[in-house]
Copies of this chain bind each other. A is one copy, B any other.
C-alpha cells in the first residue's frame, strides 16, 4: 500500500471493457486509476494512463502491481484464490478473497447460499444442485451417475456448469440425456449439476456495499440472454410487482452483507411465478448495470469505485423513467467505426459506448443505451442501433414474460 496523502490509487486487475468504463468514471472522482492488463491493446489499457502489463495468474505480477495501489479490485473473477490470499497480505483487496470465492466457485456459492435462512424469508431459492465428480474434479468420490441422479429426479434437461472459469455462456451445458452428460464430464473439468429452471423471465439486481457496511441497490432490471450471452437489459424490469422488486433488492443487500462483499454484487435471478431463483453471482461492475452510465444518477462504475474506496455511496436513482441497453456483438464487418457514423445520423439520441476491441463475431465490442419513457420505443431504437453496428438482424423478444404483460 502507498504511504502518501491526497487522492487514493485504485488498481483493477484485468483490462477489459469493465476496467475501461471504470477508468472513465475515475476521471470525475479525481482518484488515480491503474489497470493490470495483458497487453497495451486491451480495452482499458488504451485509455488508462496507469496501465501495467502483467499476468493475473502470476503472483509476482500481482504483488508488484498491488505495491503501488491503496486498493486492489477486479474486472473479472479469474485471479487464483492462493494469489488473492497473498495480495491481501500487502494491500486492501476488495472484494476480498473470502467473498470472491463465492463468485469464483459455483459449488461453494451454492453450498453457502443454501445455508442462509434469509433466502426462505424472502421467498428466494437456489436450483437443486449436486457436485459432479470427474477425473480432474475434487468433489468427492461418488459416481457421476449417482451424483446427477438426485437432480434428475426432477427430469430432463439438467444443467451442467463448470464450477469455475465460465463466463458469457461458456461453461454451461443444458443436457437432454445421459450421453450428453457423459460427453461434458469427459472434458475433465470440475462440474456442478443443477435443476433446469423453466423461468418466465430473467431479472437482475445490482447492489453496492462498502467496507463500513453501507449498502445501496439499483432498481431491479430485466435481462434477456441468448446463447448464454446478455443481449438486452431493461431498467426497471417492466411490470414487475413492487413487492417482488423489493424482495430482490433486499436479497442483494442481504447477500452482500452475508458474504462480506465490498464493491458491487450482481445477482442474476430467474423469475418463476412469484418465486425468485438465484442463477449467478458476480462481484464487479456487471453487464446488467451498463444502463446506469446514461440512466442513473451514479453509474455502477463510479459506485464500484466509491464502494471499494469505502466512500459514501452515490444515489442509485434512475434519471429517466426507463432505460434500455443492448449489447453490440461483433459482426462480419471489422469497420465498426464507419457503421457507428450511420447510427449517429439515424438516431441522435442513442448513447453508444465503444470498447475499442477488435471485431470478432459474437464478441462484445460495445453497447448502446436509450433513455426515455416508452419502453417499447426505447427497445426498438436500441435494437436498431445495435443491429446496425453488429450487421445483425436480430429481433427483440416480443413476449418479455412480465406479469404485467400477460
- Contacts A298-B348, A311-B341 hold; do A335 and B5 have CB atoms under 8 A apart? yes
* A319 pairs with B317, CB closer than 8 A: no
User: A21: nearest residue on chain B (CB-CB)?
Assistant: B27
**Residue of A20, A31, A337 with most partner-chain B CB within 10 A:** A337
Q: Which of A344-372 contact B (CB under 8 A)?
A: 344-345, 348-349, 351-356, 366, 371
Q: Mark A1-36, 1 if CB is under 8 A from B, else 0.
A: 000011110000000000011011011111110000
- Contacts A7-B337, A335-B5 hold; do A348 and B313 have CB atoms under 8 A apart? yes
Contact of A312 among B23, B26, B341 (CB under 8 A): B341
* B7 pairs with A344, CB closer than 8 A: no
* B24 pairs with A348, CB closer than 8 A: no
**Interchain nearest-CB distance for A152 vs B (Å):** 47
Chain B residues with Cβ under 8 A from A297's Cβ?
Answer: 348-349, 351, 371
Q: Give the distance in Å from the alpha carbon of A49 to the alpha carbon of B34 in the complex.
A: 12
* B354 pairs with A29, CB closer than 8 A: yes
Chain B residues with Cβ under 8 A from A32's Cβ?
Answer: 46
Chain B residues with Cβ under 8 A from A173's Cβ?
Answer: none
Q: Give the distance in Å from the alpha carbon of A23 to the alpha carbon of B354 in the complex.
A: 14
Q: Does A340 contact B (CB under 8 A)?
A: yes
* A366 pairs with B315, CB closer than 8 A: no
Q: Does A251 contact B (CB under 8 A)?
A: no
* A354 pairs with B313, CB closer than 8 A: no
Q: Does A47 contact B (CB under 8 A)?
A: yes
Q: Does A324 contact B (CB under 8 A)?
A: no
**Interchain nearest-CB distance for A341 vs B (Å):** 6
**Interchain nearest-CB distance for A272 vs B (Å):** 34
Q: Which of A315-350 contact B (CB under 8 A)?
A: 315, 317, 319-320, 335-337, 340-341, 344-345, 348-349
User: A49: nearest residue on chain B (CB-CB)?
Assistant: B49
Q: Give the distance in Å from the alpha carbon of A20 to the alpha carbon of B27 in the complex.
A: 8
- Contacts A6-B335, A47-B49, A341-B311 hold; do A319 and B371 have CB atoms under 8 A apart? yes
Q: Does A96 contact B (CB under 8 A)?
A: no
Q: Does A314 contact B (CB under 8 A)?
A: yes
**Interchain nearest-CB distance for A363 vs B (Å):** 14
Q: Give the distance in Å from the alpha carbon of A51 to the alpha carbon of B27 in the complex.
A: 15
* A27 pairs with B30, CB closer than 8 A: no
User: A51: nearest residue on chain B (CB-CB)?
Assistant: B49
Q: Give the distance in Å from the alpha carbon of A31 to the alpha carbon of B314 in the complex.
A: 29
Contact of A315 among B30, B31, B46, B348 (CB under 8 A): B348
* B7 pairs with A315, CB closer than 8 A: no
* B29 pairs with A345, CB closer than 8 A: no
Q: Give the distance in Å from the alpha carbon of A44 to the alpha carbon of B30 in the complex.
A: 11
User: A342: nearest residue on chain B (CB-CB)?
Assistant: B312
Chain B residues with Cβ under 8 A from A27's Cβ?
Answer: 20-21, 23-24, 47
Q: Does A304 contact B (CB under 8 A)?
A: no
**Interchain nearest-CB distance for A219 vs B (Å):** 15
Q: Mark A177-214, 1 if CB is under 8 A from B, else 0.
A: 00000000000000000000000000000000000000
Chain B residues with Cβ under 8 A from A349's Cβ?
Answer: 297, 314-315, 317
**Interchain nearest-CB distance for A211 vs B (Å):** 14
* B6 pairs with A337, CB closer than 8 A: yes
Contact of A354 among B30, B216, B315 (CB under 8 A): B30
Q: Please name 13 further chain A to chain B contacts, defined as beta carbons within 8 Å, in addition to the given A6-B335, A24-B27, A27-B47, sorted by A numbering.
A: A23-B27, A23-B47, A24-B24, A28-B351, A30-B355, A30-B356, A31-B337, A297-B349, A297-B351, A298-B351, A311-B344, A313-B348, A314-B348
Chain A residues engaging chain B, CB cutoff 8 angstroms? 5-8, 20-21, 23-24, 26-32, 45-49, 51, 216, 297-298, 306, 311-315, 317, 319-320, 335-337, 340-341, 344-345, 348-349, 351-356, 366, 371
- Nearest first, the 8 A-B pairs at minimum CB distance are A30-B354, A312-B345, A312-B344, A315-B349, A315-B348, A7-B337, A24-B27, A28-B353
